[in-house]
Amino acid sequence: MHTSLAEARALAGAVRDGCRALAGVRVVLCPPFTALAAVAEVLRGSPLELGAQDAHWEAAGAYTGEVSPVQLADVGARVVILGHSERRQHFGETDDVVRKKVGAALAHGLTPLVCVGETSAQRAAGTTAAVVREQLGRALDARTPAEIGRAWVAYEPVWAIGTGKTATPTQAAEVHALLREVLRGFAPPVIADACPILYGGSIKPENSSALMAQPGVDGGLVGGASLAAADFVRIVRAAWDAKVDAASAAR
């Protein structure tokens, strides 16, 4: 819940220009609903994509204040964040609600970015694996392998969001490996292994290179650092560097 229209246009333009030399990294900007049309115009003709921060599970109806996946697609969004921890915490979203939203997003041509993550209490209790397995499993329940192939996943440890704390690269890699196993339970490895799994807990320029260097971390879901174009572009650069390094190692 940040930026006026003018601020959103300026931020999107600065990110667009800063990413010109970073071909090969998929970049999606997810502004507030009020700025979607304005940012879509700024991104037109560039490789950057438009995303939304949430969507309802119905295409239309008497749901005052909500925005449907049909409306998001109409304004140019291609990706939608679903099940973000702030939605779960502040608005009571359950795993069942996230499951319905994932189905709606897929049905209307959007890429669902499914967020999962544990609280500090759950990590202290040693239940991280069980929590994220349950969250992702419920979100993808009844989806076909082809639909799984269209989904993205984000691991966002709740204890790291907005706190300045960050999972260590090793902690992130461990959970990402668990999530990959869950995906393989829904689709063949050739499909499941192609689904991007992003890290989303207080990622910033100072820690992005170490996180992106982990083989199981395919990118980042960036929060506060995305409000400063220079910081966000540095994170994209870290992803680009990791991609180049991985390609060199493969050769």
Q: Are the CB atoms for 36 and 72 separated by under 8 Å?
A: yes
- What are the beta bridge partners of residue 199? 155, 220
Q: For residue 120, how many C-alpha atoms fall within 13 Å in the half-sphere facing its CB?
A: 6
CB 155 within 8 A of CB 117: yes
What the block records as the tokens of 36 is: 């979607």
Task: Determine whether 93 is an active site residue.
Answer: no
The single residue of 84, 93, 118, 147 carrying the catalytic annotation is 84
Q: Are 111 and 150 in contact (CB under 8 A)?
A: yes
Of 104, 102, 111, 99, nearest in space to 70 by CA: 104
Active-site annotation holder among 56, 147, 156, 176: 156
Residue 214: alpha-carbon gap to chain centroid: 17
How many CB atoms lie under 10 A from the CB of residue 141? 13
Cα angle value 112/115/116 (rounded, 5°): 140
Is residue 156 annotated as part of the catalytic site, yes or no?
A: yes
Residues 6+ apart with CB under 8 A from 110: 55, 69, 72, 73, 77, 78, 79, 80
- 44, 75 in Cβ contact below 8 A? no
Active site residues: 84, 156
